[in-house]
Amino acid sequence: MALIVFDCVSKAYSGQTALHDFSLTVEPGQRVAILGPSGCGKTTVLRLLAGFIAPDAGTISIDGQVVAKNGKILQQPEQRHIGMVFQDLALWPHLTVAGNLEFGLKAQGISKSERIQRINGILQLVEMDTYLRTRPAQLSGGQQQRVALARALVLRPKALLMDEPLSNLDEELNQHLRGELLRLHAQLGFTLLYVTHDRAEAVEIGTCVVRMRQGSIERIVSTEELKSR
Amino acid sequence: MNTRRVTLCAALLVLLILGVAPIALMFARSLSVNGAFSLESYQHLLATGRSWQLLSNSLGLAMITAVICTLVGLPLGLLFAKTDLPLRRVFVLLFTLPLVIPPYIMAVSWSDTLAPHGLASSFFGPATTQKLSGLLFGSPGCVLVLASTFMPAVMLATMTFTRTINPRLEEAARLSARALRVLGGITIPLIWPGVLLAATLVFLLALGEFGVPTFLRYQVFAVESFTQFTASYNFGAATAAAVPLALLTFLLLGIEWFALREKIQPLRPASESDSNYHVSLRSYRVPLFALVSILCAIVVLTPVLSLLLQGGSTQSYLRAFRVVSDSLMRSIFLAAIGATALTALGFFTGYLIHTRGLSIWRAVDAGTVLLFALPGTVIGMGLITLWNRPATNFIYATPLIIVFGYLAQYTALTGRVTVAGLTLVPASMEEAAATVGANWMRRLGLIVLPLVKHALVAGWLIAYIFCLRDTGIAMLVYPPGYDTLPVRIFTLMANGAPSLIAAACMLMIAATVLPLLGVAALVRTQRRRRLWR
């Protein structure tokens, strides 16, 4: 069964179309890269899936359950079990690394012992376990990326959404973190929706690439096909 | 020295002469008797048990007011800025009303409400109203009036700081937590330093307020200082009573500055594409709307309606207008002059602070805030100390001294608004003009000023309101025959007819609110025109 289904979804902001008749199916464990120029509706796809906005028309389903339909949000963001890494990372500046990871776990009612175990586990995975008591402002750009990733993954989400998370980094660090992300995916097997405007990044991260233009899907191609061109 | 530096130094000099020098001189004079150093005034002040009583009354009143303002203003600010509560813009305007009029007018209106034939009597009956009226005259009444007057400061600060939070921070939390938990765990901790700053300002404003405690007969330091000066003309005692207020202001702002300077989030310019994080109240929408409506009816509408009814018929209002028209016109004129001067001085101090144009920009920032937080009576006494001498009588004997007072106290307002406006203008704008050969004045006039014009208009309006409602400064320094409307109403309170006082208060409210409504209508028309295009 498909994990995520967008069925003829449309969305407009103040009369301006952001997404038009958008349909997409994502299988569990799949890595989907959404590629397109600025303003083509890539981020809107993620925001609709996360539950921050409602579609004007169409249906969105997660794990077989309709979560939003025709202008209505049927399932709130915290009930969807979706993780997200934002373009500006959105790490909470008043909380430590541990605090950033613990906030969601506490809100989900997870016991203290399990919280500690999960936080330590995921921080070891992203090699940030020595920074538990550090505040985000004291970390480098790459370290902040890892914490943002850990914060999203610690909740064991059904799908991880990433909105151009590496766009502000230099090429070397960008390359390194792409490798890290693929390693984590191989270890944890999460479903990934990765938004980018960089073709090379999309090809490296996605198992399939969704090309978007002016709010619609232009075409969906497998990475193999793209690489062979 | 280049033009930029000379201009900024000139602005600094104006601040020093009008704001710092009077306070410094007043403090120095309080330490001398007959030209020799003496602590006699302070010894006298500290020797009596009454001083400690005054201090405890002042601190208690200010503390309770600040706590209530925070407890009410913070949730209201969050409700209006973050939720889909119906009519929230109307509520913001209504709750802000008490802040823009002199606080003692709210005291008069509550007194009218709880009078034997007042509005409350028709609802609760004479016996209950009499009990409530007894409570009004004393500390509970002062707390009620000051809390309803200054609460909007916390509410507006909450709204402002809430809107400057990066919405992604809240959305990131929303992925795993309910809306209420996001407010408690992310939003409030992020805006808390700003709210605390507003609460401190409320504490200081309540500490320096003399009009309300005078009317409601509650003894505090600000009343003591005012009475020593106006009734006994004992300058030494008045100054000595004012100094504890000034020292407390220094101390609190100092602590606040050191504790919070790194914690207050920098204002984030909201981009057009930013969708601010909003909470849907769903089933709580109606009960919360009812709760806010009741609160608004009690703390804002009841006292204003009471004044309106007490004012009487149209004839009474016309009579009141004839009696106070000269003061009203003078108030409007002086407020307009003061606001214009404040906008100019605020622009240069704001520019100085924003661009760190002089090495002492932090001191300028802290100094203007300190002067704003000082009680108006303290500024007034400082002005008298400095300017009441034959050589400067050409200033002291004219309404110019009132404008000087406005400049001394309210520059922080226009300065801060300018800084907020300049934050939205990239430094590259001015730099680009410099690269094509424009000198500083040209860059300022043709690039920076047009880009911050909306902030300057907002600053002018805020300054106009504060100058118009000012009582503390004008009360002490107005030259004979040049009283302002707040001063006239305050003096009428001693022996004027209640209907005349109420009608004059309503005229004061109209003079404050009408320009605001005019500007709001203008802004709305401009927005509509832009949309049509």
Mutate to test the interface with A, among B169, B175, B282 (most CBs of A within 10 A): B175
Q: Does B506 contact A at CB distance below 8 Å? A: no
Check whether B39 has a pLDDT greater than 50.
yes
Check whether B87 has a pLDDT greater than 90.
yes
Q: Is A97 within a domain? A: yes
Q: Is A109 within a domain? A: yes
ipTM over 0.85: yes
Closest-CA distance, A207 to chain B, in angstroms, reads 25
Please give the Cα distance from B41 to B218 (Å, whole number): 23
Check whether B376 has a pLDDT greater than 90.
no
Same domain, B258 and B357: no
Check whether A224 has a pLDDT greater than 80.
no
Do A90 and B178 make contact, defined as CB atoms within 8 angstroms?
A: no
DSSP state of A67: E
Q: What is the pLDDT of residue B156?
A: 92
Tens-digit pLDDT profile for residues A95-142: 999 999 999 999 999 999 999 999 999 999 888 999 999 999 999 989
- Give Dmax over CA atoms of chain A in angstroms: 51
Contacts of B14 (CB under 8 A, 6+ apart): B345, B407
Q: Is A111 within a domain? A: yes
Q: Does A108 contact B at CB distance below 8 Å? A: yes
Are residues B166 and A86 in contact, defined by beta-carbon separation less than 8 angstroms?
no
Tens-digit pLDDT profile for residues A176-218: 888 989 998 998 889 999 999 998 899 999 999 999 999 999 9
Q: Is A209 within a domain? A: no
Q: What is the DSSP string of B130-182?
A: HHHHHHHSSHHHHHHHHHHHHHHHHHHHHHHHHHTS-HHHHHHHHTTS-HHHH
Same domain, B298 and B317: no
Q: What is the pLDDT of residue B533?
A: 53
Q: Does B275 contact A at CB distance below 8 Å? A: yes
Same domain, B417 and B483: yes
What sign for the dihedral angle of Cα A68, A74, A77, A78?
A: negative
Q: What is the pLDDT of residue B292?
A: 97
The pLDDT of B108-135, averaged and rounded, is 81
Closest CB to A88 among B166, B174, B265? B166
Q: What is the pLDDT of residue B273?
A: 46
C-alpha of B220 from chain center = 20
pTM as predicted: 0.84
* Residue B275's pLDDT band (cuts 50, 70, 90): low
Q: Does A86 contact B at CB distance below 8 Å? A: yes
Q: Does A78 contact B at CB distance below 8 Å? A: yes
Task: Kindly list the residues from chain B whose CB atom is less than 8 angstroms away from the CB atom of residue A103.
Answer: 173, 176-177, 185-186
Are residues A202 and A194 in contact, defined by beta-carbon separation less than 8 angstroms?
yes
* Residue B258's pLDDT band (cuts 50, 70, 90): confident
Same domain, B353 and B256: no
Same domain, B411 and B389: yes
- What is the total count of domains within chain B? 2
Q: Does B185 contact A at CB distance below 8 Å? A: yes
Task: Kindly list the residues from chain B whose CB atom is less than 8 angstroms away from the CB atom of residue A76.
Answer: 178
Same domain, B258 and B387: no
Q: What is the pLDDT of residue A223?
A: 79
- What is the total count of domains within chain A? 1
Q: Is B76 within a domain? A: yes
Please give the Cα distance from B256 to B195 (Å, whole number): 12
Q: How many CA atoms lie less than 13 Å away from A51 in the CB half-sphere?
A: 28
Exposed/middle/buried for B178, CB within 10 Å: 0-12, 13-18, 19+? middle
Task: Kindly list the residues from chain B whose CB atom is less than 8 angstroms away from the CB atom of residue A51.
Answer: 174
Please give the Cα distance from B174 to B172 (Å, whole number): 5
Contacts of B220 (CB under 8 A, 6+ apart): B54, B57, B58, B61, B207, B210, B213
Q: Is B531 within a domain? A: no
Task: Kindly list the residues from chain B whose CB atom is less than 8 angstroms away from the CB atom of residue A99.
Answer: none
What sign for the dihedral angle of Cα B334, B337, B341, B344?
A: positive
Q: What is the pLDDT of residue B420?
A: 83
Closest-CA distance, A74 to chain B, in angstroms, reads 13
Closest-CA distance, A100 to chain B, in angstroms, reads 9
Are residues B366 and B416 in contact, defined by beta-carbon separation less than 8 angstroms?
no
Closest CB to B176 among A86, A90, A108? A108
* Residue B42's pLDDT band (cuts 50, 70, 90): confident
Same domain, B196 and B58: yes
The 10 Å Cβ neighbour count of residue B206 is 28
Task: Kindly list the residues from chain A whose CB atom is less than 8 angstroms away from the CB atom of residue B164.
Answer: none
The pLDDT of B277-295, averaged and rounded, is 91
Closest-CA distance, B105 to chain A, in angstroms, reads 41
What phi and psi values does residue B367 have, to the nearest 5 degrees? -65, -45
Same domain, B370 and B400: yes
Do A78 and B186 make contact, defined as CB atoms within 8 angstroms?
A: no
Chain A residue with Cα closest to B277: A52
Q: What is the DSSP string of B362-427?
A: HHHHHHHHHHHHS-HHHHHHHHHHHH-SGGGHHHHTSTHHHHHHHHHHHHHHHHHHHHHHHHTS-H
Contacts of A137 (CB under 8 A, 6+ apart): A93
Are residues A185 and A192 in contact, defined by beta-carbon separation less than 8 angstroms?
yes
Q: What is the pLDDT of residue A165?
A: 87
C-alpha of B525 from chain center = 28
Q: Is B272 within a domain? A: no
Closest-CA distance, A228 to chain B, in angstroms, reads 38
Q: Is B118 within a domain? A: yes
Helix, coil or strand: residue B325: helix
% helix / strand / coil in chain A, to the nearest 5?
35, 30, 35
Q: Is A214 within a domain? A: no
Q: What is the pLDDT of residue B194?
A: 85
Q: What is the pLDDT of residue B262?
A: 59
Please give the Cα distance from B414 to B512 (Å, whole number): 18
Tokens at residue B385, please? 């100390």
Q: Is B36 within a domain? A: no
Check whether B272 has a pLDDT greater than 50.
no
Q: Is B49 within a domain? A: no
Same domain, B126 and B237: yes
Closest-CA distance, A175 to chain B, in angstroms, reads 25
The residue segments making up the domain with residue B263 are 54-218+220-267+281-310
Q: Is B46 within a domain? A: no
Kindly tell me the number of DSSP H helices and DSSP E strands found in chain B: 28, 2
Most confident of the ranges A79-88, B28-37, B64-73? B64-73
Q: Is A217 within a domain? A: no
Q: Look over chain B and give the mean of its residue pLDDT values, rounded to a whole number.
A: 87
Tens-digit pLDDT profile for residues B345-371: 999 999 999 998 888 988 898 899 889
Check whether B230 has a pLDDT greater than 80.
no
Please give the Cα distance from B133 to B162 (Å, whole number): 38
- Using only C-alpha atoms, chain B has a radius of gyration, in whole angstroms, of 24
Do B175 and A77 make contact, defined as CB atoms within 8 angstroms?
A: yes
Helix, coil or strand: residue A73: strand
Q: Does A99 contact B at CB distance below 8 Å? A: no
The pLDDT of B256-283, averaged and rounded, is 64
Closest-CA distance, A225 to chain B, in angstroms, reads 35
DSSP state of B485: H
Q: What is the pLDDT of residue B264?
A: 53
CATH of the domain at B263: 1.10.3720.10
Closest-CA distance, A51 to chain B, in angstroms, reads 8
Q: Does B264 contact A at CB distance below 8 Å? A: no
Please give the Cα distance from A99 to A106 (Å, whole number): 10
The 10 Å Cβ neighbour count of residue B117 is 10
Please give the Cα distance from A39 to B172 (Å, whole number): 22
The residue segments making up the domain with residue A144 are 91-156
Q: Is B370 within a domain? A: yes
Q: Does B171 contact A at CB distance below 8 Å? A: yes
Q: What is the dihedral of CA B175, B180, B184, B186, to 10 degrees?
A: 30
Q: Is A37 within a domain? A: no
Same domain, B19 and B72: no
Same domain, B501 and B438: yes
Q: Is A152 within a domain? A: yes
Task: Kindly list the residues from chain A whose CB atom is less than 8 angstroms away from the CB atom of residue B169.
Answer: 90, 92
Please give the Cα distance from A5 to B86 (Å, whole number): 35
Mutate to test the interface with B, among A75, A92, A161 (most CBs of B within 10 A): A92
Sheet of A216-222: strand order equals A82-85, A159-163, A191-196, A31-35, A208-213, A216-222
Q: What is the pLDDT of residue B400?
A: 95
Same domain, B488 and B361: yes
Residue owning tokens 């660090």:
A173
Task: Kindly list the residues from chain B whose CB atom is less than 8 angstroms away from the CB atom of residue A53.
Answer: 275
